[in-house]
Structure 1
Amino acid sequence: MVKNAFISIISQEQKEENKGSVEFQVFSFTNKIRRLTSHLKLHRKDYLSQRGLRKILGKRQRLLAYLSKKNRVRYKELIGQLDIREPKTR
């Protein structure tokens, strides 16, 4: 459902060209995170999946930190589109 909404925002030409863009990577990590969280609701003791989820969360957090430093406007738009909370600052 979210995937279709985001892909409709990005045109087909841009999608093929920008698979390495920060926005596309964050989007794909978000999809993986949502799938893993729904899996872990059923299988609470699947520790390998929990570890994988933590690794993906860390990767997404680093990408979002990079994007917020480089382009704050694109960062805010992406967070709004994907319905992600802003990370806590230290």
Structure 2
Amino acid sequence: MEKLDKINVIDAFKRHDTDTGSAEVQIAILSARIVQLTSHLTANKRDSHTKCNLLRLVGQRRRMLAYLRKEDAARYQAVIVKLGLRK
């Protein structure tokens, strides 16, 4: 993931000026990386290393979403809507 792309994702999801590690930001960064790896796998179907990493990232995002849902349901719903995840 390019540094500028990561900065744009952080700016879109940060809760305050110096926020870089809140659950929302982490979920957004994981989602951007998942999209990037998914597009890579469509072009390179036999890349098993990328596939393992993609599954690892999906699991991390799932756990972060479960944590956020347990801690603050309103923030969870806002992130889901903003990322366009669960329909």
TM-score, length-scaled by structure 2: 0.82
What secondary structure is seen at the aligned counterpart in 2 of 1:29? Answer: helix
Going from structure 1 to structure 2, the CA distance change for 1:9 and 1:36 (only over 3 Å counts) comes to closer
Specify every segment of 5 or more residues in structure 2 that has no aligned partner in the other structure, as ranges. none
Which structure ranks higher in relative contact order (CA pairs < 8 Å, sequence separation ≥ 6)? 1
- The Cα of 1:7 is off from its aligned counterpart by 3.1
Matched positions, count: 82
Percent of residue pairs bearing the same amino acid type: 32
Q: How far apart, in 2, do the equivalents of 1:32 and 1:72 lie?
A: 24
Specify every segment of 5 or more residues in structure 1 that has no aligned partner in the other structure, as ranges. none
Contact conserved, 2:9 with 2:29, CA < 8 A, in 1? Answer: no
TM-score, length-scaled by structure 1: 0.80
RMSD over aligned CA atoms reads 2.3
Q: How far apart, in 1, do the equivalents of 2:13 and 2:20 lie?
A: 14
